[in-house]
Structure formats: structure tokens, C-alpha cells
């Protein structure tokens, strides 16, 4: 748990940026490069880093009167490797800490490798980011994109290339969370159109609140026209 807590805290800023609405993958990749340098430095000095973590874990175990021991070694093991270390510290360093650290480094290198930098820089052509860049940065970015993709109509085609790029699954996960809140047991027979409308209202609640009065007026007007039911609706402005 100490190992997970340490590196989860290190990766938390990247996770927060990737889950944000105004996400800049190129900036995230630059931050990830700095993290990779730090993680690789921890991998080089793994013994010293793990000694500190193990000391903290041992102090917590001593408070609860728990003895840290190694699992028994059998002649044939199918679910885990047999590490022949007499010291519990050496055993957990080789069996848990080093594989965990190697896995993080490998995953981050695959996701944010340098070959993806040109694809990530496509978002620099977005007007909101383009006006913030310096002239030389714009020139270098456009040149790299053009040399990589070899397309004539760069501005039009670049958005078609960049928009489908998968960043995270956060948006899809949020939509499923919204669906779980909206489609309760009392709404189990809700139609598809109504369910989609309720989910859209829940997801975009900030926009709805800004135009709340106007949306309510439009809703009443539409309901009165489509469902008269011999009733007269009088809408007056306050």
C-alpha cells in the first residue's frame, strides 16, 4: 500500500489533467516526460527508495503487532514466482516494488512515446491555442505536422485527424454514471427519447442553468402546442 500510495500521488496531476474538460495532450506529454525521468531515477536507485518505504511499512506493522514475513517457497508454484530470499525486505523489493515500477514506466512510455508528439501537436491548430503561441512555435508546429502527414489542406484535415484520437475513457465513464443516476427503478420503462433528453440535461447542467428561464418557456410553449388537451396556456413575462 505504501508503494501504491507513493506513485499514485505522483501520477495524480497527470490524471487530473487528462480528466479535465480543457485537456491539452501535448502539455501532458511534456509533463509525463519529466515524470518518466523521475521514475527511471527511482528505478536506478531502487534499493534506497524501497528501504524508506519498507521502513515506514514496518513501523505501521509494528504498531499493530504484525510481523512482516515472506510467503513459503514450494517446489512447484503456478500462481506466483518463487523468490529465494531469506530477508522479507529483499523478497518484497524483488517481487512487488520492482515489477510495479517497471510496469508504470513501460505503460507510460507506450502511451506517451515520442512518435505520438506530432499527433498531439495537432491541437495547436485550434484557434484557442493558436493565438497563444509565438510565431516561431507556430511555424515549427505546422512544419512538423505537414512533413509527417503530407496533406495539402492542413487546417481542414488536421481537425479530422485529431478529433478521433482517443485520449481517455472519462467522458464515456461519466455518461454511464449519469445513466445510473437518471434511470432509477422508478424510471425503468422510460422511452429512449426521454432518457436521452434527461441524460443530456444532467450532463450539461451548467448550460441548462444559464438558460434556465428561456428553456422553461420554450418547453411550456412546445408542450402546449403538441398536447392541447383542451387547455389554454397563458405565458406572460414577469
Q: Per residue, what are the HEC states of the chain?
A: CHHHHHHHHHHHHHHHHHCCCCCCHHHHHHHHHHHHHHHHHHHHCHHHHHHHHHHHHHHHHHHCCCCCCCCCCCCCCCCCCCCCCCCHHHHHHHHHHHHHHHHHHHHHHHHCCHHHHHHHHHHHHCHHHHCCCCHHHHHHHHHHHHHHHCCCCHHHHHHHHHCCCCCCCHHHHHHHHHHHHHCCHHHCCCCHHHHHHHHHHHHCHHHHHHCHHHHHHHHHHHHHHHCCCCCCCCCCCC
Spatial separation of the C-alpha atoms in residues 14 and 188, rounded to whole Å: 38
Chain centroid offset of residue 53 CA: 27
Q: What is the pTM of this model?
A: 0.59
Residues 6+ apart with CB under 8 A from 35: 10, 11, 14, 108
**Predicted pLDDT at 179:** 82
Please compute, for residue 86, the number of CA atoms within 13 A of its CA located in the half-sphere on the CB side.
0
**Predicted pLDDT at 227:** 65
**Predicted pLDDT at 77:** 67
Q: What is the dihedral of CA 146, 149, 155, 160, to 10 degrees?
A: -160
Contact assessment for residue 35 and residue 11, using Cβ atoms and an 8 Å cutoff: yes
Q: Mind listing the pLDDT tens digit of every residue in the chain (238 residues)?
A: 788 888 888 888 777 777 766 666 667 777 788 888 999 999 999 999 999 999 998 888 888 888 888 877 776 767 667 777 778 888 888 888 999 999 999 988 887 777 777 777 777 777 777 788 888 888 888 888 888 777 777 767 766 766 665 556 666 667 777 888 888 888 778 888 888 888 888 888 888 888 888 888 888 888 777 766 655 555 444 4
**Predicted pLDDT at 238:** 47
**Predicted pLDDT at 101:** 92
Three cell numbers written together for 181:
443516476
Long-range contacts formed by 151-157: CB under 8 A, 24+ apart = 154/125, 155/125
**Predicted pLDDT at 44:** 92
Amino acid at each position: 500500500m505504501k508503494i501504491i500510495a507513493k506513485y499514485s500521488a505522483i501520477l495524480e496531476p497527470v490524471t487530473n489533467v487528462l480528466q479535465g474538460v480543457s485537456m491539452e495532450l501535448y502539455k501532458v506529454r511534456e509533463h509525463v516526460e519529466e515524470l518518466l525521468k523521475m521514475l527511471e531515477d527511482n528505478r536506478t536507485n531502487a534499493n534506497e527508495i524501497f528501504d524508506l518505504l519498507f521502513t515506514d511499512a514496518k513501523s505501521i506493522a509494528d504498531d499493530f503487532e504484525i510481523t512482516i514475513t515472506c510467503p513459503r517457497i514450494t517446489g512447484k508454484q503456478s500462481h506466483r514466482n518463487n523468490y529465494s530470499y531469506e530477508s522479507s525486505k529483499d523478497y518484497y523489493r524483488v517481487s512487488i516494488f520492482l515489477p510495479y515500477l517497471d510496469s508504470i514506466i513501460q505503460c507510460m512510455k507506450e502511451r506517451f512515446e515520442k512518435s505520438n508528439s506530432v499527433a498531439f501537436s495537432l491541437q495547436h491548430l485550434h484557434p484557442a491555442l493558436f493565438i497563444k503561441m509565438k510565431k516561431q512555435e507556430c511555424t515549427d508546429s505546422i512544419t512538423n505536422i505537414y512533413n509527417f502527414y503530407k496533406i495539402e489542406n492542413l487546417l481542414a484535415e488536421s481537425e479530422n485527424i485529431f478529433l478521433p484520437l482517443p485520449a481517455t475513457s472519462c467522458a464515456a465513464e461519466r455518461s454511464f454514471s449519469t445513466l445510473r443516476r437518471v434511470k432509477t427503478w422508478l424510471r425503468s420503462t422510460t422511452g429512449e427519447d426521454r432518457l436521452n433528453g434527461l441524460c443530456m440535461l444532467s450532463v450539461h447542467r451548467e448550460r441548462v442553468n444559464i438558460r434556465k428561464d428561456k428553456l422553461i418557456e420554450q418547453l411550456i410553449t412546445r408542450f402546449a402546442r403538441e398536447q392541447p388537451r383542451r387547455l389554454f396556456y397563458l405565458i406572460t413575462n414577469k
